[in-house]
Amino acid sequence: MTTTVPETAEVELAIGGMTCASCAARIEKKLNRMEGVEATVNYATEKAKVTYRGGIVVDDLIATVEATGYTAAPPAPSKSPGSAGATSDTEADEADELRPLRHRLITAVTLAVPVVAMAMVPAWQFEYWQWLSLTLAAPVVTYAAWPFHRAAFTNARHGAATMDTLISVGTSAAFIWSLWALFFGTAGMPGMTHGFELTIARTDGAGNIYLEAAAGVTAFILAGRYFEARSKRKAGAALKALLELGAKEVTVLRGGRQELIRTEDLAVGDRFVVRPGEKIATDGTVVEGSSAVDASMLTGESVPVEVVVGDTVTGATLNAGGRLVVEATRVGADTQLARMAKLVEDAQNGKAAAQRLADRISAVFVPVVIALALGTLGFWLGNGAGLTAAFTAAVAVLIIACPCALGLATPTALMVGTGRGAQLGILIKGPEVLETTRKADTIVLDKTGTVTTGRMTLLEVHTADGVDRSDVLRLAGALENASEHPIAQAVAKGAEEKVGTLPVPEDFANIPGLGVQGIVEGHAVLVGREKLLAEWAMDLPVALERAKAETEAAGRTAIAVAWDGEARAVLEVADAVKETSAEAIKRLRGLGLTPILLTGDNKAVAESVAAEVGIDRVIAEVMPQDKVDVVKGLQAEGRSVAMVGDGVNDAAALAQADLGLAMGTGTDAAIEAGDLTLVRGDLRAAADAIRLSRRTLATIKSNLFWAFAYNVAALPLAASGLLNPMIAGAAMAFSSVFVVGNSLRLRGFRAAD
């Protein structure tokens, strides 16, 4: 007898309607309860990655999500890398999603400002001002706050309570009680004003309205949600940036002639032309020509790779030398670029979304408040206080719990912290990032472009006895200036900086894979590998041979220079270490972080750079797809990993890391995959970014503490029926002012000297 193993399938669903991380957890829980289903739901990317088997179909999964109160649909087919239409539809969809929220925010702010102003400034409380307040506040509490009411209803159906529940209950209670007071109490009488006696006395509440609380809280929370949504919408931008890296069009050879087509129309086996300066359209094998290919943005390798017939090349890398003809071996989703995009997406989906602090506290606070309100109602009814007094006390409990200061706690601290960060060249993406900065204990640093400049630089000139250094720079620089090779350009630029304008060669020839030769100022000059000089029967003197060996042992590129039949010098070229990197490493250690250097470069280069900046552990010769595995391995050791990178090859690892710091001088893919962006490109900013993030998080926590402390302190008064409106209003205002003032202290944050 044979046992049939159910076929396993995987699908990615686009989830709609989530308002917080607890929504994602609820959907995930429901899906995982289905037999044969394993699911992970990510609030940030609004996607569910589901593996299913045993007769389950996608429609079953969608039905389960919809039964939970949310929407689900298979994502739209993705475009090929480099496709011109790969991002336009997505960007339009994102704009459409944000538009309703933006309209609600504008409505709330426009109408809430005069409501709050009239309630807080007695001089503006003209006759019948309360009815104008009602007219302005009604659209705010109904239309603008509708997402909170809808989410609260969904949560209630599933026995859950979040920040949305607290907002909905608090604003609704304030609004409904104000309606009762206006229509059935004394608050609607001509000449009504808010009393200002600061005494504790029992009232029946019939003359009090709380429209400013209902409208103001709605506006504050909507503002926070809108800016959070804008940030969250960028979760997939790393994928779009990766797709944009590919070539849009390619010249193919068909029927003996050249034809320009879209890259997405390439097929395996097609041969295409790559001219100097063009991107290679897709992964393939060189069938004609030789060149130097700059693959640094994909591999992290700082030195351009020499390719000849038979060598493999990767799509999206740059042809920095001669003309190539390449035969396509992988296209579309099979290319290395597409696989890297998938790695980034998988890393983002697999990263646990940090649940907001307010939601975690609200999960306990909201049920307690509702229970207390019901208990207050029952207590006063049971003691014969009358329906009005009992209902007043019960509603007062809900009103005093209305999260005015709580709504300001996170947005204001984040706004001030991120604003100060922007002034210092640090961009913080959102509140979720801050929790991770506190926990990080290991920082992984990409080498190229992060610790080093990412550009080949002429570092040293070793000359033979009796040879003038300026002659070497002038003659070698002039010849290299005629070459397009990145290393040649580094030599030319370095020479020009030191000796000024370079002469023009009288003759020039490029020797593929070896170097260049030509006539400069009447001298027959050779610049390139030692093998090039050997072909002209020239050997390096002992001193230059030693200099060449030491240069290569340090992982740097050695270039031999000869003229008029004699070897004259060895040039030392490498990706130079940034002047500030060593100081940055020292500061990171001071924050309790253990630095690790991670690179696709060879081990000798990596160890040389690590020794120069003071890093003890090096992980070298790592392919882009393996960088994610390195980060996962460190996380498996129990480490909380921060990573700093700047290239496409770092994007997936930045997304996988607990905290991703992207150098603003790097590629869009890396910047979008990171949680923090360091605009200045100075590694010292990484230490400042972590300090600022930790300080901002501490401010948010203290804001939340005092916001809830106000509620907790005032609740007993409300339950006792002693909630004087002016004391409540003053206390609420004070808590809000305190939160704002505490947040403004972040403006004094200074970068380390």
**Phi, psi angle pair for 511, to nearest 5°:** -105, 100
What one-letter code names the amino acid at 699? T
Phi/psi class of residue 9: alpha, beta or left (left: φ > 0; alpha: ψ in -120 to 50)?
beta
Q: Give the C-alpha separation, 247 to 316, whole Å.
A: 6
Residues 442 and 593: beta-carbon distance below 8 Å: yes
State which amino acid sits at residue 167: I
Q: Which residues contact 572 (CB under 8 A, 6 or more apart)?
A: 458, 459, 460, 461, 462, 547, 551, 556, 557, 558, 559
For the record, the structure tokens of 585 come out as: 């490493």
For tokens 């490493």, the residue is 585
**Can you tell me whether residue 229 is helix, strand or coil?**
helix
Asked if 52 contacts 37 with a C-beta cutoff of 8 angstroms, the reply is yes
What is the residue type of 158? Answer: H
Burial class of residue 364, CB neighbours in 10 A (0-12, 13-18, 19+): exposed
Amino acid occupying residue 244: E
Q: Which one is catalytic: 164, 270, 446, 646?
A: 446
Shortest CA distance to 420 belongs to which of 745, 10, 703?
Answer: 745
Could you tell me the two tokens for 601?
């470069």
10 Å Cβ neighbour count for 507? Answer: 12
> CA–CA separation, 109 vs 126, rounded Å?
22
Residue pair 242/651 in contact (Cβ under 8 Å)? The answer is: yes
Encode 45-104 in three state secondary structure: CCEEEEEECCCCCHHHHHHHHHHCCCEEECCCCCCCCCCCCCCHHHHHHHHHHHHHHHHH
CA separation for the pair 438, 573 (Å, rounded):
40
SS3 of residue 176 by DSSP: helix
Q: Following DSSP, what letter does each residue of 506-573 receive, concatenated?
A: SEEEEETTTEEEEEETTEEEEEE-HHHHHHTT----HHHHHHHHHHHHTTPEEEEEEETTEEEEEEEE
| 3-class secondary structure per residue, 303-334 | CCEEECCCCEECCCCEECCCCEEEEEEECHHH
Is 446 known to be catalytic? Answer: yes
Q: How far apart are CA 688 and CA 674, in angstroms?
A: 16
Rg of the chain on CA atoms, in Å? 33
User: And the tokens for 659?
Assistant: 């905290």
Closest CA to 714 of 724, 705, 704: 724
Residue 441 burial (CB count, 10 A): 15
Is residue 338 within 8 Å of residue 81, measured between CB atoms? yes
CA-nearest of 679, 618, 616 to 646 is 679
Contact (CB, 8 A) for 412 and 740: yes
The Cα–Cα gap between 67 and 599 comes to: 47
Strands 426-428 and 659-663, by their bridges, are: unpaired
Enzyme catalytic residues: 446
